[in-house]
Amino acid sequence: MKISTLSIGDELICGQVIDTNAGTVASLLLAEGLRIQRHLTVGDNEQDIIGALNDLGRVSEVIIVTGGLGPTADDLTSRAAARATGRRLVVHEEARAHVRQMSGRLNNLIVCPLNDKQAMIPSKSVLIPNPNGTACGFHLMHNGSFMFFMPGVPAEMTVMLRDTVIPYILERAPRKRIIRAASLNLFGPCEAEVDELLQGIARPEQGLTLGICVAFPWMKVTLRAEAERESAVEALLASALQTARNRLLEYCFSSGDTGMDDAVAELLRNSGLTLSLAESCSGGLIAKRITDIPGSSGYFSEGVVTYSNEAKKRLLGVSAELLDNFGAVSAECAAALAGGVRLASGSDLGLAVTGIAGPDGGSGEKPVGTVFISLAAPDGCWTERFQFSGSRADVRTLTAWTALDRLRRYLLKR
């Protein structure tokens, strides 16, 4: 089944906003064994939308369109869809009732004015219910292609796709071959090293392919198996996955959609240990990532962002002498921060980072990107120096990732 997606929006084609919908649609379809072949983006321009629908119509049995169904004048998708398929634009009574009902319910701070524009869709279309917003979606059949139209708001689109569009496609899709994918997430090695480690695992002639995707600062290795029977696909995938795991060892921090933060959270939860943080150059980024995870209050007691030397002394008992002798960016200071926060908070583990994120503040001996990471635990304290490169944001990102990875490796070994 040939499936294409089309994202519509001036903000997308002009690069002001990154299109996340195309990725969401692709992931959810892939989970059902359906692959997208083409993804196209055009602006809020009627001729461009009509051209895109016509072109995709020639090569696709299914076209999934997002965006341009809003209440404002620059939202042109319904009108373009009507023109492209030779239909009239009509007020859909059910859609109108929906728009009126939702307008009152949303935005607990501000109630938006009503707008019947969102109730106008091409004639002989079927509504796609939108439980989370005013814009109705719709679908229609034109020249042998199913066309689905949904609003661009990600939270609304995702529910409509999952509840209506995908079930509709699956009912009509001839599922001859079964595709399953599995992925491993890595931190540490470079792309060529991973390629070397995974030599020979991909066997395209047997339906097993492998992709490596660099997503700074981590990497995803995806294995895809394709066969006619479910059992064959599962066996193919399981064996390749095991081989890959055996070769990648500690580089692999999780599989599938589990991120580094979730992986660390699970290890912490299972360990029964509590954690506190002292952050200097990462400025709260590690605390943010730890507390992103629901239930983190079970193991995370407190974090301090000690940007000033004064705060390092008062909050964590780092001595003035140590700061004078070694400086705030030093292995000694990192260890004192980790030990200090562990002691002050009474938690089992103290994780601390101090470094120079840049763009200024570097020296010959300690250039921008110099970072010390220290972990204080009941059985020891480990402090290590790193030299990261890149922008201020890169250095902070690498600092947080590396600190979380050290914590992960400690918890794994326990």
> Which 228-287 positions form the footprint of a copy of itself (CB under 8 A)?
277, 279, 282-287
Q: DSSP assignment of 226-272, as one string?
A: EESSHHHHHHHHHHHHHHHHHHHGGGEEEETT--HHHHHHHHHHHHT
Closest approach, Cβ 206 to a copy of itself, in A, equals 15
Q: How far apart are CA 240 and CA 395, in angstroms?
A: 35
User: Which range of residues in 23-31, 78-86, 136-144, 157-165 is near a copy of itself by CB under 8 A?
Assistant: 23-31
Closest approach, Cβ 279 to a copy of itself, in A, equals 8
Report the residue from 196, 228, 230, 250 that binds a copy of itself according to the rule CB under 8 A. Answer: 196
Q: Can you give the length of the chain in residues? A: 414
Q: With binding defined as CB under 8 A, does residue 101 bind a copy of itself?
A: no
Structure tokens at 13: 């084609």
Comparison of 231 and 297: residue with beta carbon closer to a copy of itself? 297
Report the residue from 19, 261, 332, 348 that binds a copy of itself according to the rule CB under 8 A. Answer: 19
Closest approach, Cβ 359 to a copy of itself, in A, equals 5
Closest approach, Cβ 158 to a copy of itself, in A, equals 12
Interaction pattern, residues 357-396, with a copy of itself; x per rule: CB under 8 A:
xxxx--------------------------x-xx-xx--x
Report the residue from 120, 159, 182, 315 that binds a copy of itself according to the rule CB under 8 A. Answer: 315
Q: With binding defined as CB under 8 A, does residue 307 bind a copy of itself?
A: yes
> Which 135-164 positions form the footprint of a copy of itself (CB under 8 A)?
153-155
Comparison of 267 and 287: residue with beta carbon closer to a copy of itself? 287
Report the residue from 93, 108, 365, 379 that binds a copy of itself according to the rule CB under 8 A. Answer: 108
Phi-psi region of 40 (alpha: psi -120 to 50; beta: other; left: phi over 0): beta
Closest among 287, 221, 292 to 253, alpha carbons compared: 221
Report the residue from 209, 243, 258, 271 that binds a copy of itself according to the rule CB under 8 A. Answer: 209
Is there a contact between 140 and 113 (Cβ–Cβ < 8 Å)? no
Q: What is the 3-state secondary structure (H, E, C) of 33-96?
A: CCCEEEEEEECCCHHHHHHHHHHHHHHCCEEEEECCCCCCCCCCHHHHHHHHCCCCEEECHHHH
Closest approach, Cβ 146 to a copy of itself, in A, equals 19
Comparison of 97 and 214: residue with beta carbon closer to a copy of itself? 214
- How many residues line the site for a copy of itself (CB under 8 A)? 110
CB within 8 A of 153, min separation 6: which ones? Answer: 132, 133, 135
Report the residue from 305, 322, 331, 343 that binds a copy of itself according to the rule CB under 8 A. Answer: 305
Q: With binding defined as CB under 8 A, does residue 308 bind a copy of itself?
A: yes
Is there a contact between 289 and 300 (Cβ–Cβ < 8 Å)? no
> Which 70-99 positions form the footprint of a copy of itself (CB under 8 A)?
70-74
Closest among 386, 384, 383 to 369, alpha carbons compared: 386
CB within 8 A of 87, min separation 6: which ones? Answer: 81, 122, 123, 124, 125, 140
CA angle 315, 317, 322 (to 5 degrees): 130
Closest among 76, 60, 57 to 122, alpha carbons compared: 76
Is there a contact between 71 and 114 (Cβ–Cβ < 8 Å)? no
Closest approach, Cβ 37 to a copy of itself, in A, equals 6
> Which 176-195 positions form the footprint of a copy of itself (CB under 8 A)?
181, 183, 189-193, 195
Comparison of 47 and 123: residue with beta carbon closer to a copy of itself? 47
DSSP-derived secondary structure letter, 161:
I
